[in-house]
Chain A
Amino acid sequence: MLERSVSRRNFSKLTLAAAAGMVAGSSTALAAEGSGTKKKEFPVDPALLLQDPNVCRGLNSCKGKGKGEHACAGQGACATVDAHSCNGTNQCKGQGGCGGYPGQNSCKEQGHCAVPLSKDSWALARKQFEHLMKDLDKKFGAASAA
């Protein structure tokens, strides 16, 4: 556990970030309602998490498919897809960030966050990656440190 002291100024910024998110979410919901068609929230396919290119370190499906030096699956040093900074700007399916299903979006421009993944999203993606690899009886190595 990392002890941190958050200054009043930064704390205020954090609260305003949450507020900005709410306003953005509200506008998105309103736009979806106005269009008369309910947007599918998370069009996802978990199998895409095991396809390359991948969205972050430790998510390569085989040796040679990750970035940097690695001996086997799950040991790539970084994302092999193009980095992008925000939701909806991924170039292809399986290349979006968070939203509970990182790397599993089934359409272009339907990811939910930045790539490479944030720490929380990475932890979720890695957990899902390990689960899928175990289900398929595939071997994978420990992820490199961030």
Chain B
Amino acid sequence: MPMTRHGLEQMVTRSEKLSARARLSIYANAYYARLLECLGDSYPVLKRTLGEEAFNAFAFGYLQKYPSRSYTLGKLGERFPEYLAETRPDIDKATSSVIQGTVSWPDFLIDLARLERTIAEVFDGPGIEKTAVLSTEQLGGITPDKWMVVRLRTVPCLRLLAVQYPLNEYYSAVRQSPDESTIPLPTPAESHIAVTRRDYIVRRHDLSHSQYLILNALKEGRTLGDSIASVTDCCDFTDEELESELRQWFKNWICQQFFDSIILPSG
């Protein structure tokens, strides 16, 4: 039940200059300022890209629409990319769909927010530091006729992103540069990123479109054969080239600990 102004005056002592309500507002404002600060810490590259004033304007609107509901501030920014997508200026309010056009500034901001949120989730989420990953013994137990139908289970911290700008390079450039420096914005280019965690460090890997398609298919639980089939019709490699690439890609992915087990079909 909301407290009346009179009730508030009874509960909180007023000072010489401030009413109980004004005194309480100091704490309310400080709480809000703390939330804005936390959101900025969760999206450091987006904040630097937008500048503090513009970022806080977005953040303020977000906190109005999606107020903090969790005991942990780790979840405070979980819907920020969604909010940016909902409030983009080129959205058709009647249909809630984006007015078709070229890839533009709102796409960049939304993709950057998605990347930063993914990094935060991978950092906070389950990892493989204390669990086994795919071993030589498991691989050695597969007979050649079974490889097409095995499934590779990806580690829980592996996340794949398809974005419309070369964000991985941009993200690194911003993180590695001094705060006051300005990093030029990249031009749009389809880009794919794998985000994972090893030894408690979040790692980002650039992927080609073909690599993304295969990993995505494996992550969805498709067989190794089906996953490779997802690129045979759309990449312009000859069979020999693709064979060589696949050997190298899977070698790298095992070294990068992208999989934790191999599943044989039952029966």
Contact = CB atoms under 8 A, between A and B. Distances in A.
A24 B208 contact: no
Give the size category of A's interface with B: 35 or more
Given A4-B233, A29-B255, A12 B248 contact: no
Given A112-B252, A120-B245, A135-B184, A14 B239 contact: yes
Contacts of B136: 23, 26-27, 30
Contacts, number: 126
Given A13-B239, A22-B251, A118 B139 contact: no
A127 B191 CA distance: 11
Contacts of A124: 206, 208
A45 B141 CA distance: 39
Interface of A (DSSP majority class): helix
B249 interface: yes
Contacts of A127: 166, 189
Given A4-B233, A23-B136, A113-B248, 5 more contacts: A21-B251, A28-B251, A28-B254, A100-B205, A119-B241
Interface of B: 134-136, 139-140, 142, 144, 147-148, 166, 169, 184, 186, 189, 205-206, 208, 210-211, 224-225, 228-229, 232-237, 239, 241-257
Interface of A: 1-4, 6, 10-30, 41, 87, 98-100, 112-114, 118-120, 123-124, 127-128, 131, 134-135
12 contacts: A3-B233, A6-B229, A19-B144, A22-B139, A22-B253, A22-B254, A23-B136, A25-B250, A26-B136, A112-B252, A119-B241, A120-B211
